Amino acid sequence: MPLLEIVQVGDPVLRALARPVTPEELASPALLRLIDDMRETMRDAPGVGLAAPQVGIGLKLAVIEDPASVSAEDRASREREPVPFHVIINPELTVEESEPARFYEGCLSLSGFAAEVARARAVRVDALDEHGRPITIRARGWYARILQHEIDHLNGTLYIDRMDTRTFRRVE
């Protein structure tokens, strides 16, 4: 299973509007292989989400998996619970609770940096799975943050567009 190269900020693909996955592409061997490769690349990084533009492919597709391997204190303050591996294709995001939560977040395409970003606390996402079946996700807390971050990628938006600029910093 080859690992894919994660493109870094500055690559135009990260700023382009991704196109929807077509019905013909859904469940195709090529799409399923891409999803497998994205899953392995995300786990290797490691990260909790990876959008297709981050591997240089302008499709409305992202993979998400959060083992929530943080302290009990961080889990509680961030409303962070484990999220099993899944795919979102052609997602539509609706904010359900706009009251923002502010936390540091990073991005595999801005390796080595983090900043505080205000994100809606609860969202609903209507999307397709890899077989083209409609799915509706209702998410709170950290999972809602991951969904907002990944869906931003599909619209050419990065967290640096939303961050509190004075909190931008190097990590480690």
CB of 114 to Zn ion, least distance (A): 11
Q: Which residues pair with 150 in a beta bridge?
A: none
CB closer to Zn ion, 89 vs 107: 107
CA atoms in the 13 A half-sphere facing the CB of 83: 23
CB closer to Zn ion, 23 vs 112: 112
CB closer to Zn ion, 93 vs 107: 107
Distance (Å, whole) CA 42 – CA 48: 7
Going by their DSSP bridges, the two strands 169-170 and 134-140 should be labelled as: unpaired
Q: Assess contact for 96 and 138: CB atoms under 8 A.
A: yes
Indicate whether 146 belongs to the interface with Zn ion (CB under 5 A): no
Phi and psi at residue 153, to the nearest 5° = -55, -35
CB of 93 to Zn ion, least distance (A): 15
Task: Give how many residues touch Zn ion by CB under 5 A.
Answer: 1
Catalytic, out of 65, 105, 130, 150: 150
Active site residue 172: no
Q: Assess contact for 122 and 139: CB atoms under 8 A.
A: yes
Task: Write out the binding residues for Zn ion, residues 55-114 only, by CB under 5 A.
Answer: 107
CB closer to Zn ion, 86 vs 132: 86
**50 sits in which H/E element:** strand 49-51
CB of 24 to Zn ion, least distance (A): 28
CB of 47 to Zn ion, least distance (A): 8
Tell me the catalytic residues: 150
The residue ranges that bind Zn ion (CB under 5 A) are 107
